[in-house]
Amino acid sequence: MFSRAATIYALIIAGTCQLSISVDAATYDGSSLPSAAAPSWIYDGTSELADFSSNGGVLTLAQSEGSISQYYRQAVGIVPAGDGIAGTPDFYLETRFKLDANATQANNVYDLVLGLLQNKSGTLYTDDALYVKAGPNSSLNIVYRRQAGDVVSVATNDGIFHTLRMEYDNNAATTSGVAGRVLVDGAIVAPFGNSPVVNFGTSFGDRIIIGNNGGGGPITGFHWDYVTSGAMGQNRPIDFGHQWVKSHPFTLGGWCVGIDPSQSKFQLFQGAGLNLEAGNDVFNTTVPVHLWPGYLDSSDYMAEGVAVAQKAHPNRTGWVVYDEPSYQQMAGLGRAVAYLKNVDADKLSYVNVFPNVAGSSALWGGGGNPGYTYTQYLDDIMTIVRPDVLCYDAFPFSGDGSGFYTSFIPNMMQVRAKAQQYNVPYFGHVQSFELFDTYLPTPTELRVHMYSQLTAGYQGILYYAFESHQLPQALLVTSTGQPSSLYDTAATVNAEVQRLGVSLSRLRNADVRFIPGIGRSFALEMQNWSAGAGSDFHILSLSSVNDAHGLIGFFHDDNNEQYFMLTNMKHGRGLTVAGASGAFNILFDSSTNAIYRLNRLTGAPERIALSNHILQLTLPGGTGDLFKYDNGYFTGIVAGDADLDGDVDLSDLGTLASSYGITNGGLWLTGDFDLDGDIDLADLSTLAANYGAGSIQAIADFQSLLAVPEPSALAFLLFGCLISLRHRMLC
């Protein structure tokens, strides 16, 4: 892959532009070129560019115009062949930039150049590289200078840092060179093989250029932040986070920090329905863990620490690189995440971010920045740290509990929006502690904290905390090792979520809307439901019957089949789950005579017939249900899997055989896979199509389980059904 020796860069100094840049403690002030032998100019992508203290870590290019001075380095290494697969990136270069909101520009000026340049003697305009071009209207054009007019994106002078990334594919030789693609803020703006053609010459050059080309007039307020580079981790797909979520059980974790492990606590952990430990792996068992090592923001110990952790914790499935980082810590954490993506490529790497109630001093760090907003903070997390998932914590149950609507719901929506913008999954937390005026949630509050996030598309939930030496007063398990008053409620809710999570982990959330009830007509950062929300045109009207507020989320699976989740938001201290029940009426269009629900108590799909196209639904306090249209095949559940253990085998066939021939009252759990009430040849065909030992063996096994007078006729009929059956193996 891309070696440190091949990552070299130089500076272009234009006119009066004065740069003060430090790399490996070597400083260049623009007055003279450094010695060609200076080893400090080799940047390997792992050591940090020194802090530009005069500008908070950001290098500002001053007003400049004039001719170009160029400094080049000879190559000290070559880029190897890469992964051998055309169409996948092998290595990348990346930097960040911004135009201040009040930036002005008289003429076109190229102010940043990023690329492995080919032409040592030609002008900048003919080299194979990307340029940030500041236009006359103070806009930023990302220009690939392979030929005139190769503008691939525009970012206005919004005063926000934007990330520019070039990914190279060593194995996709084109007629004019090696292929690559361009990403801006994580989004691909020039894919492999698409227009504009992104080819990077017949051979790789030996330098990266960062600098300022005058020649057209001054520009003010342009900032360059950093350059990183590295190998792409084992062909890691750009949507790795989504693929990881789909291939693992729905994440229900509990934080375990600095506790004294015991067998009884481990049994309580499993009994709570948790399937992942977050923290420092106190149990050190086969339970999956997302490690929180606490040292990965320091490159001094990164490689050594990761190597030790890999050996000591083979049960790890992810890394929580840091908890609630500030802006000042992001550059180091970004290097840590990039490193982990390479050396532990099949594991999640992410940080847990601050909630929106954190002040600018906490978000920025190092004394604060009064103008630094939560939106900017999330953008910087995604463009600097580049986590596989966006994870946050928000604990609303304190005082009178009003923070649920004033801070938690807006925060939930802000994180959701940013995660979707950058195409990553998103995780949240539920509160399971008390400290000062923060109290242990009631059953309805725990449920609404959980189900509201599920309805908004969250695909991982962590309890803070299962147990922690930091919060000894009251947790999911108390400091004495006993279950807290919340434990039984959590265990019940977690079992429900695991059943629904089989599908939820494979769905994409398209929209989420508020359903007003008595006393609350809207929710911050969220629109009220209206017809057509989420591109769901089946629902014509939706209302709360009593004083309950509701939340409805819209989803789709990989086959673009539509789902929705409806949650009763009624909760509060002094309310029981039953006493906080809420009723809702949904009127569907004339084509919808039935809908399908994934039963949260059994995990089985079921059919609900509608009367006059109306669903009258009552939900317990804080609780939701997941529905879909058209059929009962929920993604993640294999058609024919009667016992819901993830496969179709002899046990499922035996269940079907014992009920074969009934004409009404059939259930998924008894073999009625098309949910039409009977169990017949159609259901047997569905099972046989997905039978682990093959459909022919399914026929033979069925004949053994059930006395069949004419087995050859049955086999003939079943074969005909298999030919016409739409093979379904949803995952």
Q: What integer is the mean pLDDT of 706-718?
A: 55
Are 592 and 538 in contact by the 8 Å Cβ rule? The answer is yes
Average pLDDT value over all residues in the chain:
76
- Percent of the residues in the chain that have a pLDDT greater than 70, as a whole number: 65
Q: What integer is the mean pLDDT of 363-380?
A: 91
Q: What is the pLDDT of residue 694?
A: 94
Q: What integer is the mean pLDDT of 194-199?
A: 42
pLDDT(421) > 80? yes
Instruction: Provide the edge-to-edge strand list for the sheet that holds 208-211.
Output: 68-70, 9-14, 208-211
Q: Which positions ≥6 away from 607 have C-beta within 8 Å?
A: 594, 595, 596, 632, 675, 676
* Cα dist from 78 to 45, 74, 120, 171, 203, whole Å: 16, 11, 17, 15, 10
583/239 Cα distance (integer angstroms):
39
Are 236 and 90 in contact by the 8 Å Cβ rule? The answer is no
Banded model confidence at residue 332, pLDDT cuts 50, 70, 90: confident
Q: What is the pLDDT of residue 257?
A: 81
Give the distance, in angstroms, between the CA of residue 210 and the centroid of all CA atoms in the same chain.
31
514/401 Cα distance (integer angstroms):
19
Q: What is this structure's pTM?
A: 0.74
Are 510 and 633 in contact by the 8 Å Cβ rule? The answer is no
DSSP 300: T
DSSP sequence for 499-555: HHHHHHTT-EEEEEEEE-BTTB--BTTBPBP-TTGGG--SEEEEEESSS--EEEEEE
CB burial class (10 A; 0-12, 13-18, 19+) of residue 311? Answer: exposed
User: How many beta carbons lie within 10 A of that of residue 404, not counting itself?
Assistant: 21
Q: What is the pLDDT of residue 363?
A: 96
pLDDT(577) > 50? yes
Give the distance, in angstroms, between the CA of residue 638 and the centroid of all CA atoms in the same chain.
25
User: How many beta carbons lie within 10 A of that of residue 722, not counting itself?
Assistant: 18
Cis amide bond preceding 190, omega within 30: no
Are 28 and 52 in contact by the 8 Å Cβ rule? The answer is no
pLDDT(75) > 90? no
Are 88 and 232 in contact by the 8 Å Cβ rule? The answer is yes
User: How many beta carbons lie within 10 A of that of residue 707, not counting itself?
Assistant: 7
Q: What is the pLDDT of residue 57?
A: 31
Are 288 and 275 in contact by the 8 Å Cβ rule? The answer is yes
Banded model confidence at residue 213, pLDDT cuts 50, 70, 90: very low
Residue type, 674: D
Judged by average pLDDT, the poorest of 34-38, 226-230, 313-317, 336-340 is: 34-38
Q: What is the pLDDT of residue 491?
A: 97
| Joined tokens for residue 531 | 């017809």
Two domains, one topology: 4-235 and 240-501: no
Are 52 and 58 in contact by the 8 Å Cβ rule? The answer is yes
Residue-range domain boundaries for the chain: 4-235, 240-501, 510-628, 650-724
Q: What are phi and psi of 4, to 5 degrees?
A: -65, -30
**Which CATH number is 4-235's, of 2.60.120, 3.40.50, 2.40.50, 2.40.160?**
2.60.120
Give the 3-state DSSP-derived string for 367-396, with helices as H, strands as E and coil as C.
CCCCCCCHHHHHHHHHHHHCCCCEEECCCC
617-665: per-residue pLDDT in tens? 999 999 999 999 999 999 999 999 999 999 999 999 999 999 999 999 9
Better-scored residue on pLDDT, 484 or 168: 484
User: How many beta carbons lie within 10 A of that of residue 73, not counting itself?
Assistant: 17
3 state DSSP class of 418: helix
DSSP sequence for 661-708: T--S---GGGT-TT-SS---HHHHHHHHHT-TT-HHHHHHHHHHHS--
Q: What integer is the mean pLDDT of 512-525?
A: 90
- Alpha-carbon torsion, ordered 494, 496, 497, 499, to 10 deg: 120
Q: What integer is the mean pLDDT of 324-334?
A: 88
678/303 Cα distance (integer angstroms):
60
Q: What is the pLDDT of residue 367?
A: 77
| Joined tokens for residue 424 | 């990553």
- Vertex 22, ends 121 and 20: CA angle to 5°? 75
pLDDT(218) > 90? no
DSSP 440: P
CB burial class (10 A; 0-12, 13-18, 19+) of residue 267? Answer: exposed
Q: Does domain 240-501 have CATH number 3.20.20.80?
A: yes
Are 429 and 453 in contact by the 8 Å Cβ rule? The answer is no
272/255 Cα distance (integer angstroms):
13
DSSP sequence for 464-486: EEEEETT--SS-SB-TTS-B-TT
Instruction: Provide the edge-to-edge strand list for the sheet that holds 140-144.
Output: 109-114, 130-134, 140-144, 151-155
Which residue pairs, CB below 8 angstroms and at least 24 apart, start in 19-25?
19/59, 19/61, 20/52, 20/54, 20/59, 21/49, 21/50, 21/52, 21/59, 22/49, 22/50, 22/52, 23/47, 23/49, 23/50, 25/50
259/256 Cα distance (integer angstroms):
7
Q: What is the pLDDT of residue 469?
A: 74
- Nearest alpha carbon to residue 99 among 162, 187, 163, 142: 162
| Joined tokens for residue 1 | 């892959």
Instruction: Provide the edge-to-edge strand list for the sheet that holds 582-588.
Output: 539-544, 582-588, 614-619
Return the bridge partners of 625, or none. 566
Q: What integer is the mean pLDDT of 509-529?
A: 92
Q: What is the pLDDT of residue 474?
A: 62
275/462 Cα distance (integer angstroms):
10
- Nearest alpha carbon to residue 134 among 109, 171, 153: 109
Q: How many CA within 13 A on the CB side of residue 619?
A: 31
Q: What is the pLDDT of residue 12?
A: 22
Are 273 and 295 in contact by the 8 Å Cβ rule? The answer is no
**Which CATH number is 510-628's, of 2.60.40, 2.40.50, 3.30.70, 3.30.30?**
2.60.40
Are 196 and 150 in contact by the 8 Å Cβ rule? The answer is yes
Residue located via tokens 């990346």: 94
Residue-wise burial string across 24-56, b where 16 or more C-beta atoms lie within 10 A, e elsewhere: eeeebebeeeeeeeeeebbbebbebbeebeeee
